[in-house]
Amino acid sequence: MENMKGKRALRIKIISMGNAEVGKSCIIKRYCEKRFVHKYLATIGIDYGVSKVTIKDREVKVNIFDMAGHPIFYEVRNEFYKDTQGAVMVYDVADRSSFEALDHWLLEMQNEIGNQTEHDNVVVCVCANKSDRKRVVDESEGRLWADSKGFHFFETSAQTGEGVNEMFQALFEGVVTAVENGGKKAPFQTQLGYTKDQIEAIQKLKNAKSDYERMGVQVGATKDEVNKAYRRLAVLLHPDKSVAPGSEEAFKILVAARTTLLKRCS
């Protein structure tokens, strides 16, 4: 059982998550069997498969638990979250509700794993799947969500194969690195040169319910306070300086919010 480097073969546990019909089983099939099935065959409860790969000169036996996304299978899949080291979290770029469901899936995993440290060390790859279809969820939206959680992000198509091998490679490498580090996941770094502060500012500007909330000031804030908040956010988000996805749109929202609030001040 020992390879060239004298390390024992590793066994790792991977799960798939995401709404029914987003393409979880097809992504796994594309990777393991190099083929694609058009017909929808809903997973019943859970499917299990094993794949052998070599990662960082090390023989790795991957146990894949492919979960059924439909809510009726919750009682079946819930017991399979324990001891998970890596997760493929899938949504369909042509179905917004499947993207919006990601928070729910994350919560389900968190609840089932129970232990916060264990949960935080699960390596997650978010798949924006069916990238071959007409999309309603922009790549930047998906990337932003993944980045804000410290997850990897890939645009994939089980049909064409786009991104699938790269995604699994990153997932396995992430898990093996964590195992070699005593089970601790490597701290997340976006490779794109933007920060968590920038991502959070963009999300807040896009999702907040009022201009006060968008700019992070109290209702009835003074001109000075509004301008100060504006300057802080403008430094983070100015499109000339920020490469974070969605900066430009967020910056426009920021400018509009500032204008509205300043009018209310006088």
Q: Which long-range contacts (CB under 8 A, 24 or more apart) does 134-137 make?
A: 134/94, 135/93, 135/94, 136/93, 136/94, 136/95, 136/96, 137/91, 137/93, 137/94, 137/95, 137/96, 137/99
Alpha-carbon span 238 to 236, nearest angstrom: 6
Is residue 124 within 8 Å of residue 89, measured between CB atoms? yes
- Read off the tokens for 105: 């899936």
- Read off the tokens for 124: 């997650």
Site for ligand GTP in 69-98 (CB under 6 A): 69-70
Site for Mg ion in 100-159 (CB under 5 A): none
**Least distance (Å) from ligand GTP to the CB of residue 49?**
13
**Least distance (Å) from ligand GTP to the CB of residue 133?**
5
Of 84, 85, 157, 198, the residue at the interface with ligand GTP (CB under 6 A) is 157
| Identity of the residue, 21 or 225, whose beta carbon is nearer to Mg ion in the bound complex | 21
**Least distance (Å) from Mg ion to the CB of residue 142?**
20
| Identity of the residue, 121 or 129, whose beta carbon is nearer to ligand GTP in the bound complex | 129
Options 48-56, 68-76, 142-150, 200-208: segment touching ligand GTP (CB under 6 A): 68-76
**Least distance (Å) from Mg ion to the CB of residue 165?**
19
Q: 233 is in the binding site of which of Mg ion, ligand GTP, none (Cβ under 5 to 8 A by kind)?
A: none
Site for Mg ion in 10-49 (CB under 5 A): 24-25, 43
| Identity of the residue, 70 or 149, whose beta carbon is nearer to ligand GTP in the bound complex | 70
**Least distance (Å) from ligand GTP to the CB of residue 207?**
27
Q: 109 is in the binding site of which of Mg ion, ligand GTP, none (Cβ under 5 to 8 A by kind)?
A: none
Of 12, 15, 43, 211, the residue at the interface with ligand GTP (CB under 6 A) is 43
- What binding mask, one character per residue, do residues 120-139 give for ligand GTP by CB under 6 A, x or -? ---------xx-xx------
Alpha-carbon span 51 to 91, nearest angstrom: 23
**Least distance (Å) from Mg ion to the CB of residue 86?**
17
Options 32-40, 50-58, 115-123, 212-220: segment touching ligand GTP (CB under 6 A): 32-40
# residues contacting ligand GTP (CB under 6 A):
23
- Read off the tokens for 230: 């504006």
Which residues in this chain contact ligand GTP in the complex, by CB under 6 A? Answer: 20-26, 37-38, 40-43, 68-70, 129-130, 132-133, 157-159
Interaction site with Mg ion (CB under 5 A): 24-25, 43
